[in-house]
Structure 1
Amino acid sequence: MPQTADDLDAVAVRTWCSLALDALGREREAIDAINVYPVADGDTGTNLYLTVESAAAAVEAVFAAHETGFSAPSTADAVRAMAHGALIGARGNSGTILAQLLRGMAEVLAQGAGAGRLCLALTRAAASAREAVAHPVEGTVLTVAAAAAEAAERVAAGAGAPAVVRAAYEGARTALDATPEQLAVLGRAGVVDAGGRGLVAVLGALVEAVSGRAPERTYETPALAPVPAAVADCPAGDDPQDGPAFEVIYLLEAGDEAVERLRTRLDGLGDSLVVVGGDGLWNVHVHVDDAGAAVEAGVEAGRPYRIRITHFAADRLHARPEPAQRAVVVVVPGDGLGGLCAEAGATTVLARPGEPPASGELVDAIRRAHAREVVLLPNDGDLRHTAAAAAEQARAEGIRVALIPTRAAVQGIAALAVHEPDRSFDEDVVAMTAAAGATRYAELAVAERQSWTMAGICQAGDILGLIDGDVAVIGEDVPETARKVLDRMLAAGGELVTLVLGEDVPGTLADMLEEHVREGYLAVDTVVYRGGHQCAPLLIGVE
């Protein structure tokens, strides 16, 4: 329950996260509906909700850890967990900016959380968020955050924490109502800024967490008449029309200097660039036409992971976009395959080593695909229950979902290759299922320890060739093991070999295997892809 306190202690932080999550849960669809800037993809409310959900989960984890030791976490523990959770779970442009706002507040509140510190925290939050955006635009959540901080400063002297946060909330409300006058695309659509609307909800939750009472005036989105196009001519760069095709988001482990170079590189590739974080961990968000180049820039800067690439729907330009008829959601084991699938029009979810995606991530991806019909390719037999749960949740939300039980990435590639959105949904699913089912799959892996396998006893460091999930070959080096695996697979026939090389595997391996296939199996073609970071050394498919 909310508590009255003149300080934002750990319990109040926990309460704030819970109340903010409840508020965004209630208002998610309404915020999605007014999302027209920077891209009218109708997901700002959802992205903010998922970002705060991650922040709240991190705070709960801190409390759970302290409960085992029968002690309460400190305010510093709670606010740092909140900021870290938001950073690693940030979604979309709006969620990334909110994560930086929370990080800015945490930097100050970790040193103390009285009224004066709350005021400083709001000021630091607004400044750090503006610094994180490559090209700040007025009339957005940045303007609303700045107004909240300025309103808090005006009452800070001699006021308690409840008065400070109430002033911030009222200042944010007033600024939000003015956003259609500052940003022409909002005025033409007759809406306020969606990200700013979400921030007002978060600040309202802060008021209740600190004072024990919800704001006296709850915010209701004003009904604005759209400004005629002839009056609200849009300045250059103010309209999302003809924008980049992809949204690319990833976490990045890198140093400050590398991140500054990355900012410059990504700024030249696209727009809506936001890079937030610090202390070696960053969340990168950008809209680009070349998704692969954006990911490669991250690889050059450090270690990118949790990579999400979304292909914007062709109808994203409308204030309330109609869903596309059909989309494909694909789980991929490496960023290279993620770029490949995204360029084919799919929405991707990265499967990190040892961290398979949760059903919530898959549901999020299905929502981001923004389609009436979705084909889901999990590409991993161990994900069948997770994928089934995600599909069931999406169906409950009115989305028609077909789950094709692909067990490997190469089966997903085969299915995606025959995808034709113009034919009927059932026919498309049957064709994709048939293509996946006709693809045998193999993977090369390095044994971590001595173990019994179906091919005999392996030692740590041995190269294992797994065919259809079972160890079939044990070898001492990658090239020879790969040749033996190919020979076993092609003994049963085949027309096409697909090779997916991991990041550290030299291209000469592909050349050698292509020659091996060409010389021994005349009627078989070979295609080669780069799996990128986090992909296995070699994936093989035979159709």
Structure 2
Amino acid sequence: MSAGSGVSVPTGSLRHVLTALDEAAVGRWSRAAANALRASRGRLDELNVFPVPDGDTGTNLLLTAQAAAESEAAGGEGPALTRWARGAVLGARGNSGAILAQLLAGLADRLAAPGPAPRAVDGPALAGALEHAARSAYEAVAEPAEGTFLTVARSGAEAAAAAVREGREALADVVRAAADGARRALHGTTEQLEALRAAGVVDAGGAGWCVVLDALVATVTGTEPDRPPLARRTGRPHRHEHDGVGTHLHAPVPDAGSEVQFLLADSTEAAVDRLRAELGWLGDCLVVVGIDTPTGREWNVHVHVHDVGAAVEAGIRAGRPHHISVTALAPVQVAPALPGSRLTIALVPDGPAAEGAGELFAAEGVEVLTVGLPVDADDTPAVDRVRAAVREAALTSGAADLVLLPGDPSLVGPVTRAAAQVREEGRDVAVVPTRSLVQGLAAVAVADPQLRFADDVIAMTEAASATRWAEVVLATGEALTSAGRCHPGDVLGIVEGDVVVIGAAQVAVTCELLDRLLAGGGELVTLLGGRLAEAAATHLAARHPTVEVAVHPLGQGPRPLLIGVE
């Protein structure tokens, strides 16, 4: 047995490489996957730092796989793959278990054709089913993120499909391609998520899927893939590290929320859609997976919330919840403050521009926290998530002095409240009330760790306040603004929160916006964006040649250009 996979397959019973995956092979795969996850459970638990560092991914995957394998082995209604998927959905544990269940359900949707003679699956059919399963997993997760289980599953499916397109259609070639493609993507997850990078690990759920695919390779070929052992952590699971740090003693912080999971019967797709929306409002890490059973369709619902009662009540409104489990999530682990240590944390709104903006701040030695923006002040769940994320980032940083940069008007309030909580934990925290990313960049440009903390904060605040900010935004609805009525698709020029220009062409609106801004003076214009930033720079060179211009590329989105004027 290879050191990395833990797959146990009786190779003596496999006299040749399979050309199709039949009922017996599905049964062997289900048992091999459970055995492999059992062997890998401890290492997978150790890798678990995202979305919650509660060290149970391996355990949850194993419990899900065991329930699935037992369901398949018990026989009963439907093909083997249907029974396997049904057992996974009804027995799924945790976030990772729910995603594994959805992947198996997606495979069954495509491959487990009803009828007296279950279908034998060849390479092209399996490749197509893997792609369908990956898509269905993305759809089941309310807020899919890259660098996770989903990325690994999609990459494995894409590699399988590529093998078929290249003419390598044999089942053995397809399963090897899927397993190898997933493994390559797994290694890349460390750099895709900050939590994984800080801990020096790959994604635990993705690693578990690699184990399941290796079990498939062993089932089809009779030979286990030669894999190195899953790497252990190379860093500490903290967001920021400081030189000269010895042993960290951790104290738990309460109110980390709870994981709620239940099965839902006697419901409809419409009711489940409403449930998704309601639970998405209440919490995060939402995964909803449905499966047909002999008694009707059931759904496995998983979510992390602070209000357990509200989550269960939402389930009751949607149908009949049963097998309800509530588990307290692992508390935030507080890193002791290091005397004299200082850290700036910049919040970056999630979206197409997040990666580029994060790189700008990271280049200045700033910790970056990507968050979803609250819709408004009444968006309590989103506000709570921001506050909790800021608090966790601050308390796990190990820094005694912290500067927080909100970066958006909707984040100033939640960040200020989070700062008050962190102060109660003994940290010295200051909020520089930046309302735009360009103000944050102006603040960090003057930061000086050699200054007294209070003096440094004053200098950063003055730099941010001296930076007028503006943005070009694409209207998504009809509204009455200070510049008149706008309609969906209109281009809005906004200065410090007020709409001052409405037009149809992005470049024209941008040029008028810049001219208005510079009518009041300005020596430096910072442009964050894509092609529109380049067009803006060209306009400035022609109309305002004495102004210094700095252009930084960002991804396109509903805010194609951010502007700062100093």
Q: For 1:221-259, what per-residue CA distance to the aligned partner results, in whole angstroms no more than 9, with x for missing partners?
A: 266456995699xxxxxxxx9985110000001110000
Contact 1:271-1:286 within 8 A present in 2 as well: yes
In 2, Cα distance between equivalents of 1:211 and 1:243: 49
Secondary structure of the structure 1 residue equivalent to 2:285: strand
| Letter in structure 2 aligned against 1:115 | G
Alignment map for 1:363-442 (pairs within 5 Å): none
Aligned match of 1:197: 207
Q: For 1:371-423, what per-residue CA distance to the aligned partner results, in whole angstroms no more than 9, with x for missing partners?
A: xxxxxxxxxxxxxxxxxxxxxxxxxxxxxxxxxxxxxxxxxxxxxxxxxxxxx
In 2, Cα distance between equivalents of 1:108 and 1:252: 24
In 1, Cα distance between equivalents of 2:334 and 2:212: 28
Aligned match of 2:52: 39
Q: 1:312 to 1:217 in 2, by over 3 A?
A: closer
Q: 1:226 to 1:40 in 2, by over 3 A?
A: closer
In 1, Cα distance between equivalents of 2:274 and 2:241: 40
Contact 1:115-1:164 within 8 A present in 2 as well: yes
Contact 2:50-2:195 within 8 A present in 1 as well: yes
Q: For 1:438-496, what per-residue CA distance to the aligned partner results, in whole angstroms no more than 9, with x for missing partners?
A: xxxxxxxxxxxxxxxxxxxxxxxxxxxxxxxxxxxxxxxxxxxxxxxxxxxxxxxxxxx
Alignment map for 1:444-459 (pairs within 5 Å): none
Counterpart pick for 2:282 among 266, 269, 282? 269
Counterpart pick for 1:134 among 142, 145, 148? 142
Shift of residue 186, structure 1, vs aligned partner: 0.5
| Letter in structure 2 aligned against 1:177 | H
Aligned match of 2:70: 57
In 1, Cα distance between equivalents of 2:37 and 2:312: 30
Shift of residue 215, structure 1, vs aligned partner: 1.1
Contact 1:244-1:270 within 8 A present in 2 as well: no
In 2, Cα distance between equivalents of 1:109 and 1:316: 44
Identity %, equivalent residues: 49
In 1, Cα distance between equivalents of 2:160 and 2:255: 37
Q: 1:25 to 1:230 in 2, by over 3 A?
A: closer
| Letter in structure 1 aligned against 2:58 | G
Secondary structure of the structure 1 residue equivalent to 2:74: helix
Aligned match of 1:169: 179
Aligned match of 2:261: 249
Aligned match of 1:182: 192
Contact 1:119-1:156 within 8 A present in 2 as well: yes
In 1, Cα distance between equivalents of 2:275 and 2:81: 28
Aligned match of 2:311: 294
Aligned match of 2:112: 110
Alignment map for 1:12-161 (pairs within 5 Å): 12-62=25-75, 77-111=79-113, 112=119, 113-157=121-165, 158=167, 159-161=169-171
Contact 1:244-1:287 within 8 A present in 2 as well: no
| Letter in structure 2 aligned against 1:283 | N
Alignment map for 1:289-368 (pairs within 5 Å): 289-315=306-332
In 2, Cα distance between equivalents of 1:132 and 1:86: 15
Secondary structure of the structure 2 residue equivalent to 1:156: helix
Contact 1:101-1:129 within 8 A present in 2 as well: yes
Q: For 1:294-343, what per-residue CA distance to the aligned partner results, in whole angstroms no more than 9, with x for missing partners?
A: 1110110001101001112434689xxxxxxxxxxxxxxxxxxxxxxxxx
Contact 2:288-2:300 within 8 A present in 1 as well: yes
Q: 1:224 to 1:174 in 2, by over 3 A?
A: farther
Shift of residue 216, structure 1, vs aligned partner: 3.2
Contact 1:40-1:317 within 8 A present in 2 as well: no
Q: 1:50 to 1:317 in 2, by over 3 A?
A: farther
Contact 1:39-1:317 within 8 A present in 2 as well: no
Q: 1:117 to 1:37 in 2, by over 3 A?
A: same
In 1, Cα distance between equivalents of 2:160 and 2:241: 35
Q: For 1:484-509, what per-residue CA distance to the aligned partner results, in whole angstroms no more than 9, with x for missing partners?
A: xxxxxxxxxxxxxxxxxxxxxxxxxx
Aligned match of 1:322: none
In 2, Cα distance between equivalents of 1:34 and 1:317: 19
In 1, Cα distance between equivalents of 2:261 and 2:150: 20
Q: 1:121 to 1:317 in 2, by over 3 A?
A: farther
Contact 2:288-2:301 within 8 A present in 1 as well: yes
Contact 2:256-2:328 within 8 A present in 1 as well: no
Q: 1:281 to 1:222 in 2, by over 3 A?
A: same
In 1, Cα distance between equivalents of 2:23 and 2:126: 14
Q: 1:222 to 1:164 in 2, by over 3 A?
A: farther
Contact 1:188-1:228 within 8 A present in 2 as well: yes
Superposed CA RMSD:
2.3
Q: 1:209 to 1:224 in 2, by over 3 A?
A: same
Shift of residue 61, structure 1, vs aligned partner: 0.3
In 2, Cα distance between equivalents of 1:198 and 1:316: 25
Secondary structure of the structure 2 residue equivalent to 1:305: strand
Structure 1, unaligned stretches of length 5 or more? 66-72, 233-240, 319-543
Secondary structure of the structure 1 residue equivalent to 2:273: helix
Regions of 4+ moved over 6 Å: none
Contact 2:123-2:164 within 8 A present in 1 as well: yes
Contact 1:245-1:287 within 8 A present in 2 as well: yes
Aligned match of 2:248: none
